[in-house]
Structure 1
Amino acid sequence: MIGLWDWFINLSDINKIAFGGLFLTGLGMACAGIYFLFKSFSKNKTHDLIKSTPEEVAIKLASSSNDNRDRLLDATQSLQSKDEEIRALEDVVEGLRELEKHDETAELAQEAEREFVAGNSDKAKEIFRKIAEYKLIKSKETDAKAQVEKIESAQAYRRLGALAFRNDTQEALEAYQNSVELDPNNANGWNQLGHLLSILGQLSDASKAYNEVLKIGESTSDIKLKAVAYSHLGIIRQIKGDLDGGEAFYLKALKINKELGFKDGIAGNYYHLGVIHKIKGDLDGAEAFYIKALKIDKKIGCKASMAADYGSLGVIRKTKGDLDGAGAFYLKAFEINKELGCKEGMAVDYANLGVILTIQGDLDGAEILYLKALEINKEFGRKEGMAADYGNLGAIRQAQGDYVAAEYFCLKALEIDKELCCKEGMAIRYGHLGTIRQTQGDCVAAEYFCRKALETDKELGRKEGMAIQYCRLGLIRQIQGDFDGAEELLIESLGLYKEVGVPTMIEQVQGFLSNLFSK
């Protein structure tokens, strides 16, 4: 099979920038996720788990989850969210063990816990559903204890929501909504509701829930709670493409976490600030934040976050053209995720290593890795990962000259990105569709898609993406004979690449400008 580099050298100028630009951006966002997952456990360990503390059980349950719920974009995954999920499951176990102390509920609660840690939460859900409904009825029977009964009902609904969150988002949503209605001053209820609404793509409602958390933090002078709210509000702003707004919230959270000396929170804020700077095209700034996060994560021994840090540093190295450095970071991330049994993290690593193989010309090897990543992402219902995998498979098909299949995969990716409101992903897919159409000689459609990509990148303030689209549009103008227009667009692209700091692309665009009027 022809090597990718040989194939690349024989391309026209516009196809070179099209294909090269595609791989500069295609997986950048995929590695940005923070994962906090541990080795899964087998059912034959049930006896040991019953002897474990509620926290130990919760951690293992969170890591073993094999549900099909949709997740947020990798770029917005929060270690804090995973910690909060673990605490919610810990509360479930504590609730069951409290019931085990009473003769009338001991046997039923023990059986529910055994089945829960073995992977079946039906009996535990039924227990908390009945408690919630019973306490709600009791609250209407007497005024003296009405408020206490409501709070206990809300607690049972939160526990039911935590259980249902793993496999039935609608049941979880109803439970969390009931909990905040009964106990509107409980921050955990609003926080859990916000996470679920985010996952369901209901970002405006999620933002309202997190703002309730913020109000409770302000009214109780709980600054740690305020930091939690700021972090999640930053994620919502980032998803919506408001990078400045997202950064402002992360900085507010960072200030509080520094005051509290809360290292986990500081590392998470540094990481997300790195994501913001990466999207904006400030590669050096992003790298500095990722290194700060990595330093703290190493100190506190948080391996899962270290894997995410290494992966994101690999993306920076790849974008700067340092494939050896990128590959080294990706392998470090993969080794940690494999050690932790973190399949979701491994999927990101497979995809990133696939990009390296693609650039090196091993299309068959890259395709194997992309398919491995896709298999895992489908297993976990990780739509943002699936979108990236479909996009990469489309790039492979384009390199092989199968443009019909390339467009098919790209459209599948775009459909998911739209569903998730992932503007960065949408920009990448529009640009990819533009290259596919241009390669087929359809310059009108190519320009349409590239301009849609440029419009989205401008909205995000994503300089790297803007540089790619200006260059693509410039080369389209050159094909159409508009050399002055081509020069203007290429100069715009060159300036942006210099700001971002991508030497390989600076050299390439300078070459296009030098050859512009000689052809």
Structure 2
Amino acid sequence: MPNQALLDSRYRILRTIGSGGMGVVYLVVDTSKENKIMALKISSTGHDPSSADEFKSEFRSIRGVQHPHIPEVYDFGMLAERDNALYFTTEFIDGQPLNKLNSEWTPEQLREILVSLCRALAFLHSRSLLHRDIKPENVLGRLDENGRFTLLKLVDFGLAAISNKQSGELSGTLDYLAPEVIRGDAHTENSDLYSLGLLLYRLAAGTLPFADQDPMSAAKLRSQTELPSLLRYRSDFPVGLADVISAMIRLKAKDRPPSPRHVIALLNEREGTEYPYETADSSRAYIRSATFVTNREARQILAITRESLLRGAHPESIFLRSLPGMGRSSLIKNFQSELTLSGISCRTVNTTTELPAAQNCPRVVFVPEISKLDYEILCGSIHELAPYRVLWILGGRQLPETCDFRLNSFRILDLKPLNTEGVKEFVQTTFPENSFPDSFFTRLYSGTLGISSALQAALKSLQENELLRIGLFGWELLPGEWKHGLQDDVSCYVQAKMTSLSSESQDELQLLACSSVPLPDNLLNQAVKILRKAAPETKVTGNSLTETGWIDNSDSGRLIRFDAVRESISQAMSPETAKAMHSLLRSVWQTIPAPDEALREREVLYHDFRAESWQTPGEDADRILQHAIDKGLLAWARELLIWCVKKEIPRQLKTAVYVALSRIEYIKGDTAQATELLGEILDRGQAEVTPANLSLVARYANLEEKLGRTDNAERLLDQTLEVLTPENSTAAASVYGTLAWIAFKKGDQEKAAQLAEAGLSRVPFDAADPGFALLLNTFATLAFYKGDSDTAAAYWQRCMEVSQKLGDRKNIANMYNNLGVLAAQSGDRIRARQLWEQCAEIAQDINDIHRLAGIYNNLGVDALETGQLREAEEYYLKSLTLFRRIRGPREQVELLSNLGELSYYRADYPRAQAFFREALDLAAGLGDKESQIEPMVYLGKLLITLDHLEQAENTLTAAQQIAHDAGVKKGEGQALEGLAVLYARNGMTEKVNEALELAHKLMPNDVDPLAAIHLNLTECRLHAEKGELEAARNALNNARQVADIKWDPYTAARTEVYGLLFAHEQLDEKQLQFALRKLNVFPDFLWGLHWAVARENLKNKTTQKALEEFGKGVTILKAITARLPEQDRESFLNSPLIRQFKSEALDARKLLKAD
């Protein structure tokens, strides 16, 4: 074919890319789309219905998809010049099939293939699509000079949309089919994962299993037996990655990971990697690929039109009328694709020159936007083609006023915004796997009015701001502030509707847009009369606005129902008009009788501020704002106050505004912003402390402490003590409560208790102020950490009562959280979850992200304590995401340290090390040395485990020094505990004893029982390693006498193993099975349990069983070692305990041979 020939009057062929039995693929430029380069695939299967269906299926299955690892398809059509052969165009992929791209794949490249294709499959499966033919030939890629992927696409979707395959039918390539499909069962999502796993196996091993057999025999073997490990072919292959691939190709589908995201989670767990379930680009694909864009009525009418065409009828032409943003272009494009796929010839016309001629004219002509064409020429073309019964589908905002008679017969179809149910359907088709509450859809409609372009923009904004997050089981909505603004198409829609209303109705809407509460009918009528200068007896408001659907009518009055309408009207008003409206509403609220005096005061204040009159006295403003906050009217107050701080506020009002806004920001969880606002009126803490500002300074110091600036907090609080008087109980409670908390955080429990008791003695027990609530909480927390749960419960309950009197919903939520922790600790998990759910409900209602993040943390702890380590990590990561959003640096450090501990428990040492180092870097960046202590201690212990003794000593010594200087006794004691282990490793007995003795003094049993338990367990191990069995047993007994060793699963597991391994305790078979279940999630203890059981078997002369137990221990150690970097493996296996284990295992083997 000549290069200059155009296919379908638009595609110029550049070259042939490939050809085969199913057709030919050309590289072309689309002259109608600015010469965009693409691939054009033509079917050469004639008119065979089955082949045609498969060809159409390939286009239909990924039509509209815009995913980084799936090719985008553009247009489908028929070529009259090729005997109506079918074709479609697609993104040109300049890459090669994986089987030709490379011969030897590195683990890094294979991980990239695995994760990328898992993301592609997760997207497809969320839309109920199966690929069915995953193999190396159907994955195209490109590598740069460093061997990194610059492109990776899953292609060939010919089988993807064929969902009616019956059991017994084979589809796909036999070499990569899952066992259940070979046996004749239906293809499932899990079958796709099997094929992907086998693809990776083939790339890694260089061969398929049973490659010496013919394809059918090999397939039969795969359907009957588990496949050999990859390590058989590549002994140097990472064990973790090999295990993931093995999990994907298990014989039984139920034994494989249940979803692509579970595969990524398993890879991260086994390899210590941190691949997210989706990248920013692949996440956006869910929105970019949304196909449902307009209302049900329009879709139904077009579906009827399609059926009429298929029956050979001649339906009337249609004019699709809509304002911008209603999805008209997408609707037309999708409808054209459906018609073409049904065998109906179509043409899309975007310019006058593209109008078809009479010869070879199509059955249907689409003109998406008539304003782009010469109207007279368009009418002429419609008239010329009338004898050929061409169906016209035109689109535009409005027909010209001088409408030609030839268009009078067109059916006008108005495209309307979606209703609330339509919005829900839109979201659920965009994010098929979700757990969104109904309130989410209501709020989304309020901000977009169901206009599809605005919906997509809103969802994109939520995604970019991490409020929409992909988790292990699908999409989740996280709490936070919605930051997307008003979309232009929404404003256009509202203003267009406004022009059809009377001037009285427009005035009424402007007044309602300026009001934050429902306006009573008498007040609204009075305001409109003043505006219209109507007679006093005239009623100027009525029901004319009801037809818009924008107004809520209730006993309280009228209110604009939707945020988008209110915002659009407000933005359209000039500043002068807005001020005049607010000034009018202020005066009317002052004169009209109101049933609620507090409401009247709030609205007078609101409109006084918004009119920039500033007539309210400072004391009144402070009282009204604090009362509003106590009543939970945070959104009302925050909107007003944020507006105020951008203005020139008079001096007498500034303190009231900034104090109230600081309180709200703290309730919302933004501690940094709350502190910044108070600092603005206290000269960043440099202002002189006086009786007048005493309470504010105490509050500022409390916030400084929460941000980790403890030294500054103590300095300020010391200044407040100098002016504190017996009469100022509110300030006393806050001052003593914060000082007690600081002492507690430093590990000085005695000083903390003294300060708390001093504060309680200064405040009446029936007091009801925020400072007293803080003091009660501090005293209860001290009791909790001493192990006195009854006292903690009593004081937290009293704190709850005080907070309820104050209306402090934030603190109420905090008390539910704390009481939930007590319930969880006592083993009442059902009660704990009930309390946490109550906490979460309040936190969600008041948008307290800080508390919600804390609840996720608690749920993580709860999951950890039930052995659900993966769920625990998921909750911890959610909590970390929220704390990062609200700039809670200390909480981030704590969570990173928790994640490090969790990985440490799972013997995932590289991941643990990464979390600890990130925590330390963040704490160092804050200049918060105290926050460095815990991750530093754990990192030191981890370095001992890896036998990096010099690094460990430096780390633990630094931790001890920081803790000592800061007076954090627990941290210093734990650092000494780690150093004792290190000294024992180096044979420094005297230093071991000194370190342990000082650690016991710093961490007495009654101050922190959990720390004391672990200190005694460490002592047990050190005695055992020196052969001091009796001393080891005494230390173990001491640990058990400190407190309940079931405090948490890790402590219980460590105690169990140390009793068996170091104190030589015995287990019967029933106890052994229980221990195995309990220790299964802690690999570093599990291999020790098998060692202990092996020793017991050797004592009982059952050498064969002993070797089996040693073998299980070896398997676990291999799995742990496989996660380690190459440079750490030898040192880890060379640690004294593992050397002893290996020595005993070899002795057992020799003994068996001798026997």
Aligned counterpart in structure 2 of residue 439 of structure 1, from 1000, 1005, 1025:
1025
CA distance in structure 2 between the partners assigned to 1:392 and 1:223 by the alignment: 42
Letter in 2 for 1:465: T
Give a deviation string over 1:218-265, Cα, whole Å, max 9, x none.
Answer: 456654331122234455677xx5364794544442343233331111
Paired residues of 1:207 and 1:233 also in contact (CA < 8 A) = yes
Please name the residue that 1:154 is paired with. 729
- CA 285–454 in structure 1, closer or farther in 2 if over 3 Å, else same: farther
Identify if the C-alpha distance between structure 1 residues 341 and 440 changes in structure 2 by more than 3 Å, giving closer, same or farther: same
Matched residues in 2 for 1:471 and 1:170: separation?
A: 36
**Alpha-carbon spacing, 1:402–1:277, altered in 2? closer, same or farther (3 Å):** farther
Matched, 1:242 2:826: yes
Corresponding letter in the other structure for 1:242: S
For the residues of structure 2 that align with 1:180 and 1:316, how far apart are their CA atoms?
A: 42
Distance 2:657 2:1058 in 1: 53
Offset, 1:170: 7.4
Which residue is 1:39 aligned to?
none
The Cα offsets for residues 159-209 of structure 1, whole Å up to 9 and x where unpaired, read as 553675567757743652244317612243132243156448675555433
Say if 1:162 and 1:409 are closer, same or farther in 2 by CA, change over 3 A. same
Q: Which has the higher strand share?
A: 2
Code of the residue aligned with 2:1078 in structure 1: it is L
C-alpha spacing 1:183/1:476, structure 2 compared with 1 (3 Å): closer
SS across alignment from 1:181: coil
| Paired residues for 1:12-31 under 5 Å | none
Q: CA separation in 2, counterparts of 1:99 and 1:275?
A: 42
Change (3 A) 1:512 1:186: same
CA contact (8 A) 2:1033 2:1063 kept: no
1:361 is aligned, of 924, 947, 954, to 947
- 1:302 Cα offset (Å): 2.9
Could you tell me which of 1075, 1078, 1082 is aligned with 1:493? 1075
Which residue pairs with 2:802 in the alignment? 216
CA distance in 1 between partners of 2:680 and 2:736 (Å): 11
Hey, what's the Cα distance between the residues in 2 that align with 1:486 and 1:56? 67
Q: Report what 1:503 is aligned to.
A: 1083
Specify the code of the residue in structure 1 equivalent to 2:899: L
Whether 1:190 and 2:190 are equivalent positions in the alignment is no
Contact 1:474–1:488 (8 Å) recurs in 2: no
Distance 2:772 2:756 in 1: 11
Task: Report the Cα offset of residue 293 of structure 1.
Answer: 0.4
Displacement of 1:428: 1.1
Question: Is 2:126 the counterpart of 1:126?
Answer: no
Sort the Cα spacing of 1:91 and 1:222 in 2 relative to 1 into closer, same or farther, 3 A. farther
Shift of 1:214: 0.8
- Give how far 1:430 is off: 2.1
Q: CA 1:187/1:122 → structure 2, altered by over 3 Å: closer, same or farther?
A: closer
Higher relative contact order (CA 8 A, sep 6+): 1
Letter in 1 for 2:798: E
Judging changes above 3 Å, is the alpha-carbon distance between structure 1 residues 461 and 252 closer, same or farther for their aligned structure 2 residues? farther
Cα distance in 1 for partners of 2:1088, 2:806 equals 57
Question: Partner residue of 1:400?
Answer: 986
Equivalent residue letter for 1:176 = G
1:406-425 to structure 2, matched below 5 A, reads 406-418=992-1004, 421-425=1007-1011
RMSD over aligned Cα, in angstroms? 4.6
CA contact (8 A) 2:857 2:875 kept: yes
Report what 1:180 is aligned to. 763
From 331, 349, 355, the counterpart of 2:917: 331
2:536 match: none
In the alignment, does 2:848 pair up with 1:268? no
Sequence identity percentage? 17
SS in 1 for 2:872: helix
What CA deviation, in whole Å up to 9, does each residue of 1:77-103 have, x standing for no partner?
A: xx99x99x979x97995999798799x
Offset from partner CA, 1:310-347 (integer Å, 9 cap, x none) = 22111111221111111111121112111111111222
1:273, CA displacement in angstroms? 3.3
Map 1:300-379 onto structure 2 (within 5 A).
300-379=886-965
Task: Indicate conservation of the 8 Å contact 2:737/2:756, yes or no.
Answer: no
Bigger mean CA deviation after superposition, 89-98 or 372-381: 89-98
1:461-476 superposed matches below 5 A: 461-475=1047-1061
Matches of 2:655 and 2:971 in 1, distance apart? 34
Deviation at 1:512, TM superposition (A): 4.5
Separation in structure 1 between the aligned mates of residue 878 and residue 1002 of structure 2, nearest angstrom: 33
Residue 495 of structure 1 aligns with an amino acid whose one-letter code is R
Equivalent-residue separation in structure 2 for 1:417 and 1:440 (angstroms): 24
Residues 491 and 472 (structure 1), Cα distance of their counterparts in 2 relative to 1, 3 Å cut: farther
- CA 1:504–1:98 in 2, change beyond 3 Å: closer, same or farther? closer
The answer to whether the 8 A contact 2:756-2:778 is kept is no
Separation in 1 of the partners of 2:801 and 2:1005? 30
Shift of 1:366: 0.8
| Alpha-carbon distance change, 214 to 186 in structure 1, aligned in 2, over 3 angstroms | same
Question: Unpaired runs of 5+ in structure 1?
Answer: 1-51, 58-78, 137-152
Match of 1:8 in 2: none
Q: Structure 1: how far apart are the matches of 2:772 and 2:979?
A: 41
- Describe the shift of the 1:452–1:91 C-alpha distance in structure 2 as closer, same or farther (beyond 3 A): farther
Q: Deviations over 1:16-54 (max 9, x none)?
A: xxxxxxxxxxxxxxxxxxxxxxxxxxxxxxxxxxxx999
The AA in structure 2 aligned to 1:181 is P
CA contact (8 A) 2:1024 2:1032 kept: yes
Task: State the Cα distance separating 1:267 from its structure 2 match.
Answer: 0.4
In structure 1, how many angstroms separate the alpha carbons of the residues matched to 2:823 and 2:1093?
A: 38
Cα offsets for 1:371-421 (capped at 9, x unmatched): 111111122222221221121111112222334433442343344433553
Partner of 1:293: 879
* Separation (CA, whole Å) in 2 of partners of 1:487 and 1:347: 42
In structure 1, C-alpha distance between the alignment counterparts of 2:1014 and 2:1052, rounded to whole Å: 11
Relative to structure 1, is the Cα distance of residues 199 and 465 closer, same or farther in structure 2, using a 3 angstrom cutoff?
Answer: closer
1:158 partner letter: A
Structure 2 portions without partners, runs of 5+: 1-653, 660-667, 702-711, 744-750, 1104-1147, 1149-1155
In structure 2, the partner of 1:32 is: none
Cα distance, 1:442–1:172 mapped onto 2, change above 3 Å: closer
Deviations 1:52-82 (A, max 9, x none): 999999xxxxxxxxxxxxxxxxxxxxx99x9
- d(CA) in 2 for partners of 1:55 and 1:446? 63
Counterpart amino acid of 1:422?
A: D
Task: Output the TM-score relative to the length of structure 2.
Answer: 0.31
Residue 72 (structure 1) aligns with? none
Is the helix fraction higher in 1 or 2? 1
What is the identity, as a one-letter code, of the residue corresponding to 2:947? G
What SS does structure 1 have at the residue aligned with 2:976? Answer: helix
State which structure, 1 or 2, has the greater radius of gyration over its C-alpha atoms.
Answer: 2
Moved more, 422-431 or 221-230: 221-230
> Does the aligned pair in 2 maintain the 1:473–1:489 contact within 8 Å?
no
Residue 772 of structure 2 aligns with an amino acid whose one-letter code is: G
